[in-house]
Structure 1
Amino acid sequence: MKKLIYLFVFTLILSCNNERVLQLPEIENAEITEVLDVSPVYIFYDETQPDSTLFNRKNLIGTTNWLVNVDKRLTLRQAIPHIQYLQNKRKKESMHKNEAAKNYFTCNDTSIKNLGFLEFTDVNFDTSEIEKEGKDFLISSTSELDEQIYSNDIFIKFNFNIDASNINTFVNDILSILNLKEASSEIEKSISARELLFNLYFDKNLSFQDYISIKSKLTKDIMSSVKFNKTEFIY
């Protein structure tokens, strides 16, 4: 088994005598801090490239867990196409397929000064145009969420106004509305019975750092209690 350990916020890659720096997104108190049997993928921030990205997948092994290292300075618009490529490649793998293999984003966990990982194996990224009628249901504030909480589908939009600096406040407001901060088993059963479905919409101009901050917070505080659509929309 192969195990990768990084001790710094950045990853250094030496290739053709050129040194490249990849700044990993930062998180705190990651639920996953070790992944075995892995192969790495790198999505660099490189201003010399047409889309400012450099995609390095030459060390990819189909039967392993994939550690996707994305530079935190990239936007979703820049990073998602490469991530979609990897997901499609995983789905199309036919020979020597490992059904247990998973995909992870590699992060710098500042609480332990080592790596943390965020799994995204089952996440589908939809970059198609959002239909006009769908936009009417997008919400970007908890006051709008409060009005829609009694429907079965909840649409949450994360844009430039919701980022790493204020995601804690936004998520705590959602928790309060859902009564999940001090949720009893009866409350959780009630929410489960109603089959609430959260749909996430992310502004394509969000930085990858902001995306990871949002997903990390949602994963720890909300996703274990309510159902989220496995498809995430990038608009």
Structure 2
Amino acid sequence: MKKIVLIVALFSLFACNDKEVKLPQASLSVMKDIEDHSPIYMFFDLKDKKDTIIEVNRKNSISSTNWVFNIDKRLPLKLVIPEVMKLQEKKKGSSHAKEGSINVFTYSDSVAKNLAFFPFSDVQYKFDEDFSKLLNMESLEKYEEFQHLAINFVKGGAITVEGLEVDRNAFVTYITKLSRFSRDRKLVMLHLNFDKELSYGDYIQNKILAWQATNDKVQIFSFEFIYDQKQSPEM
């Protein structure tokens, strides 16, 4: 397994082939340590100096270990998520997969100046499918005790909650207030939707923001919707 080295000044990782991964940044660490891991790298490149392409190094993805995904923040979700889904299936289908092993995304904590990790083992992606507002609620019978909120993260930084735009700096407070006044005092389930044109760096920052809004009354649904803004109906 390759050793991961954080270059704090550049907020980048370098694989042993000297290729660089520019990490997303955030101001807190969801996880600080992980052991017994295999690194997976997704590099940013330009074809003919104009078209963004992704190069995936998965050679060290040992199924019996925790997988650490080092993904360049400049890559768009439309390239990243299909590769993540393939690797999820690879690990799931492996007879060597170790029970309890996890998958995490890496990013840099710009305040603590350390490498940080965001777990996503339970996430199931819905790529290029319907926005969560169109989700058949009959399939959510076991979640009927929840009030369901559709959260939309749009390219450019806008955030909407049930179609209403919410200031990023007020998002956590807004969700907390909604949970206090939810119908019949129900728990709140957040359904996360991401424009597939978002950069991976923005994706990680948005996931951390949603995570900050969770508490004993607010949970995040395990399905994430990566949608095409051009093909989706008005939301």
Determine if the TM-score, normalized by the shorter chain, exceeds 0.5: yes
CA contact (8 A) 1:38 1:66 kept: yes
**Aligned residues, how many?**
207
Output the CA distance in 2 between the equivalents of 1:5 and 1:198: 34
Given the alignment of the two structures, is residue 41 of structure 1 paired with residue 33 of structure 2, yes or no? Answer: no
CA contact (8 A) 2:75 2:199 kept: yes
Deviations 1:154-182 (A, max 9, x none): 21211124369x533333322233339xx
Deviations 1:2-52 (A, max 9, x none): 87452431112243xxx3211011112213101000110001111138751
Output the CA distance in 2 between the equivalents of 1:35 and 1:170: 29
RMSD, aligned α-carbons: 3.0
1:119 aligns to what? 119
Change beyond 3 A, Cα 1:154–1:82: same
Counterpart residue type for residue 94 of structure 2: E
Deviations 1:62-83 (A, max 9, x none): 1111000110011111110111
Q: TM-score scaled by structure 2?
A: 0.77
Output the CA distance in 2 between the equivalents of 1:195 and 1:223: 10
Counterpart residue type for residue 38 of structure 2: S
2:15 aligns to what? 13
Indicate the structure with greater strand content.
2
| Identity of matched residues, % | 33
Given the alignment of the two structures, is residue 230 of structure 1 paired with residue 222 of structure 2, yes or no? Answer: yes
Gaps of at least 5 residues in structure 2 are: 136-145, 160-166, 228-235
What aligned pairs does 1:91-106 form with structure 2 within 5 A after superposition? 91-94=92-95, 96-106=96-106
The alignment partner of 1:152 has SS state of: strand
Given the alignment of the two structures, is residue 215 of structure 1 paired with residue 229 of structure 2, yes or no? Answer: no
What aligned pairs does 1:150-161 form with structure 2 within 5 A after superposition? 152-161=147-156
Deviations 1:126-154 (A, max 9, x none): 0143179729xxxxxxxxxxxxxxx8322
1:56 aligns to what? 57
Q: Which stretch shows the higher mean deviation, 210-219 or 151-160?
A: 151-160
What aligned pairs does 1:80-229 form with structure 2 within 5 A after superposition? 80-94=81-95, 96-130=96-130, 134=134, 152-162=147-157, 167-179=168-180, 191=185, 194-222=186-214, 225-229=217-221
Change beyond 3 A, Cα 1:125–1:58: same
Counterpart residue type for residue 148 of structure 2: D
Output the CA distance in 2 between the equivalents of 1:175 and 1:158: 18
1:30 aligns to what? 29
Output the CA distance in 1 between the equivalents of 2:87 and 2:22: 20
Change beyond 3 A, Cα 1:72–1:132: closer
Output the CA distance in 1 between the equivalents of 2:178 and 2:156: 20
CA contact (8 A) 1:39 1:60 kept: yes
